Chain A
């Protein structure tokens, strides 16, 4: 698995991105510690989650795909520093915030439906084409593991 990962993604692509994410995450942690004067267990756990996510993704050969989700975590971590202000804002302005969320969900639903139709017309156009099995799927296939009963 790891060797496939190395073939697919040169180290030059992986490690700089990893370092940037980790350093910026640690800076968030330091910033929080300096501002509040106390260590945040929650942010430390988020850091561990980011690190764990990175290692897991690297192992699974999906690093680049999930960089975005880690960046999402990173953004959440940044947001965490302002969590009290945000929650206070939501308490004061509950109605407009909830309205925006409901409108957003409605728009997302309409957009999702429209995208689904576009995807269908695209895949229909490709019907009958001699599509090869996707590399991605091939990479996901794990070698069969030997069961305990087989070893005997």
Chain B
């Protein structure tokens, strides 16, 4: 079974949210702000790329049924 690593949408999105929050609170340092902004754009790009995945894979798995009836 594939492990949950690749591009983790959740992580990328959360980081994007936290960057946005950083921008929302108080004084924005220009140098840091620019860096964060760039990172934010990068994350948004990654997320958008992930959003272009349209397929959901269905994988059938069998459970072992108890047969003591």
- Do A and B originate from a single complex? no
Chain B residues near A (Cβ < 8 Å)? none
Chain A residues near B (Cβ < 8 Å)? none
